[in-house]
Amino acid sequence: MAIKRVVPPLLVVLLMGLVPVPGAAQEAETEADCRRALQETARAYKQGRQPEASTEQLARECSTPVRSETIASEDVPANEGVVTTSSVGSGCRTIRDGRALYNGFGQEIIYFVGTLRWCFNRGWTTGGSFDLNVRSCCFWYFEGNVLSENRGCFNGCTFVSRYRLGSFIFNPPWPTLTTRVQPWFRLRGNGDGTAVHSSGN
């Protein structure tokens, strides 16, 4: 009699529960499935009752970041992080960098990205602006920036740079250990049109 061998999906145990490893055999969950599981689990705990085990497990999987990727500007290669084209004249440029974190189903749960626009003329900055774009879901909350550095200037300096270290806290209605994620990015535009940017978490 032949013995049938069954190999269960590979699982990784994290603080917030069991999370399928990307690529392991699993059913694809939609954002609607995750939203429903999160709402039902939150409602159960707020009402003082135990949610269904499968619903709570899905809620934990949907709210657990398992992958992080760089979000870089369209005109700069994501893995390169350097704008090497210089200009002896004047012009304006834009760079963007930061991080996005996803759950095991590929759904974004944290987004932390900065955009630096600057103008320059013969080695000097002549204007510009900086924007920070933040969003989160699934009981992850943006606490603010742990560290902010502004160097150089937008008008009359040889460069302008921005560094931000943000902090997101996981605060679900179910019992869990305090968990934080702290993504960061650094953006620098020079007066000759060159630039450097990087990010991590």
pLDDT (0 to 100) of residue 151? 98
Prediction pTM value: 0.77
Residue 148: the pLDDT is 97
pLDDT of the residue at 18: 36
Mean pLDDT by 10 residues, the chain (201 residues): 36 35 49 90 90 91 92 56 58 94 93 95 94 96 97 97 97 88 96 93 89
Q: Which of 65, 128, 52 is nearest to 91 (CA)?
A: 128
Which sequence spans correspond to the domains of the chain?
11-62, 67-200
pLDDT at residue 88, as a whole number: 54
Fold of the CATH domain 67-200: Immunoglobulin-like (2.60.40)
pLDDT the model gives residue 86: 53
| Whole-number Å distance between alpha carbons of 37 and 49 | 15
Per-residue confidence (pLDDT) for residue 175, from 0 to 100: 84
